[in-house]
Amino acid sequence: MRLIDAQKILQDYFGYADFRSGQKALLSLISEGKNTLGIMPTGGGKSLCYQIPGILLDGTAIIISPLISLMKDQVDSLHTLGVKATYINSSLTSEEYNERMRLLSEGYYDLVYVAPERFDSPFFLTTINKLQISFIVFDEAHCISQWGHDFRPSYRSIIDTINQLTQIPFRLALTATATQEVIEDIQRLLSIDDQSVVNTGFYRDNLHFHVVKGQNKQDFLINYISQHRQESGIIYAPTRKLVESIHAKLIKEGFRAAYYHAGLAEDVRRNEQNRFINDQVEIMVATNAFGMGIDKSNVRYVIHYSLPMNIEAYYQEAGRAGRDGEVSNCILLFSGQDSHLQSFLIEQSELDEEMKSLEYKKLRAMINYCHTDKCLPCYILDYFGEKNPYHDCGHCTNCTDQSEKVDRTRDAQMVLSCVMRMEQRFGATLTAKVLKGSKDKKIKQFELDQLSTYGLMKERTEKQITEFIHFLIAEGYLSTGSDRFPILKLTQKAADVLKNKEQVWMRQTEIQQVAETDFDPELFERFRELRKQIATEEKIPPYVVFSDATLKDLCRYLPKNKEEMLMIKGIGLKKYDSYGKAFLDTIKVHTNN
């Protein structure tokens, strides 16, 4: 495979003039037949890194994915480009399965998506062992790592099975979220050397992150959605009961919404998901059971109604916004009691004590995210061990907040002194009680009411003190260690504050919205209607026709002919032949009017 041929496929099939960051490096390694790992953010173009070689290389590419919901979307998109692709999973009838297996055995397909469970079938294994396989892809590769946030033992177990296959030129692993621990685990499992890892980083400039605290969640939700009625969005809630409650409230308020959780029958889940994907409703309310692998490109906002369990899960779920590269909001509605539910879920899990301790550590990092005063994407990147070259993103809640910072050095010194006098043996809750001057029996039991710091902050509530302690943890003045039960410890930064060498500043934050006005909204709506009509006729999701980003560019540049239309990102020869004339006609009518 030559990179010049890959460039032509990129232009003619997918309508892009240039590769995105990391794509060319990955394709170069693939062209050399090396086992390769690609770490790219959601919406960063990972699928092109196996679709282009799948089209160019002789044989059939096998894409193993734990996401049945994604397979049909990917195959639908490839069919609009004239690519021979299919999927094989449990959603097929026996007739469909037999027909696809027959075509597979004949080498008809360029790309075949399969669920990990297929490798439990001797018939399937025998069939692909006789095939000319171009390569094998592990999509969502973090799922094979025991350190991954979405570990799937069934996915990991197929590696031994695949090792028994005789004709696999190379393997490609792709993921959007992976800590260094997970990356090293994937490398070891799939025999990938350090020189064959392409990590473009996790930063996505089009995502605007916000943390909203101290507001009525339901009021905020209704107000926000009312201002974004024409936009697609996902609302994540931690429990099935809360999902159904939010969904019922939205319906009552006149919004078009679907809902999704693991307690619904499979056909109901599928129907609700399709309503959202096909733009029959604007809003999806769901637990974290929804969304992994959902390829809907025009999600403009993702709202977390409560605290997620960890940053890996949060960043992946938030990353379902703005896959088309357009500006999108990721909003977390936070209140102090949110962490209690997540702690309960960890306790109720079947994890061993070591893994529970790890989950608690991850949960504390998630809580710290809600209290930090630094740039929110920078905090996330620090968590993944990556530095943001821009230092501040310029558009998250903390970066855009214009309110004045308040000097909280004196308060910080009170807290830090209290932690020191409590001999760094207790957690945030008990420390807050001491500072408040609580009559709690534990205070008496440990004689903490005898400390000089007892009641030092009695004018504040325990909740306010606890939140301030979490802020100090998030900013690095205190640490909680790696034990399962977080014990407050002083850091070097704390010593500098106590010695008056450093001040502590804090501010209250407010969310700011940025409106887009650089395209004709009336023409955009006409394009959306045309796209919906085409999608309904062809029985595919609307975004498979053209993404919102492509529609907005059509509004901005108003191409008048084929040559000008092929200059628009996302429109290649295949898409133009299928849909170009209809959109050019719409532009002509609109400009004439």
**114-145 per-position pLDDT tens digit:** 988 888 888 999 998 899 999 999 998 888 88
The token pair that represents 147 in the structure block: 């350190």
For 96-117, the three-class secondary structure string (H helix, E strand, C coil) is: HHHHHHHHHHCCCCCEEEECHH
Mean predicted confidence (pLDDT) in 256-275: 92
Mean predicted confidence (pLDDT) in 418-425: 95
Look at residue 514 and tell me whether its pLDDT is greater than 60. no
- Mean of per-residue pLDDT scores for the chain: 88
For residue 91, what pLDDT is reported?
84
For residue 580, what pLDDT is reported?
94
Look at residue 388 and tell me whether its pLDDT is greater than 80. no
Please give the single-letter amino acid code of residue 427: G
Look at residue 148 and tell me whether its pLDDT is greater than 70. no
Q: Which of 213-227, 252-266, 355-369 holds the top average pLDDT?
A: 252-266
Q: What is the DSSP letter of 195?
A: G
Q: Which of 158-172, 333-347, 424-438 holds the top average pLDDT?
A: 424-438
The pairing of beta strand 171-175 with beta strand 133-138: parallel
- The DSSP string of 287-318 is -TTS-TT---TTEEEEEESS--S-HHHHHHHH
* CB-count burial class (<10 Å; 0-12, 13-18, 19+) for 13: buried
Calculate helix-pair angle for 122-129, 94-105, nearest 10 degrees. Answer: 20
CA geometry: angle 527, 74, 22, nearest 5 deg:
95
Q: Is 495 or 202 the better-scoring residue by pLDDT? A: 495
Phi first, then psi: what are they for 294, rounded to 5°? -70, 125
Are 243 and 310 in contact by the 8 Å Cβ rule? The answer is no
Distance CA 522, CA 520 (A): 6
The answer to whether the Cα torsion of 544, 549, 552, 554 is positive or negative is negative
The token pair that represents 95 in the structure block: 């007739």
Mean predicted confidence (pLDDT) in 339-365: 86
Question: pLDDT of 287-330, one tens digit each?
Answer: 988 876 567 889 999 999 999 999 988 998 998 999 888 899 99
Distance CA 222, CA 321 (A): 19
Phi first, then psi: what are they for 94, rounded to 5°? -65, -35
Q: Which of 126-130, 278-282, 367-371, 400-404 has the lowest mean pLDDT?
A: 400-404
Q: The whole model's pTM is what?
A: 0.67
Mean predicted confidence (pLDDT) in 207-234: 89
The token pair that represents 272 in the structure block: 């609700």
The confidence band for 340, taking pLDDT boundaries of 50, 70 and 90, is confident
Distance CA 266, CA 434 (A): 51
Distance CA 203, CA 185 (A): 22
The confidence band for 214, taking pLDDT boundaries of 50, 70 and 90, is low
Q: What is the DSSP letter of 190?
A: H
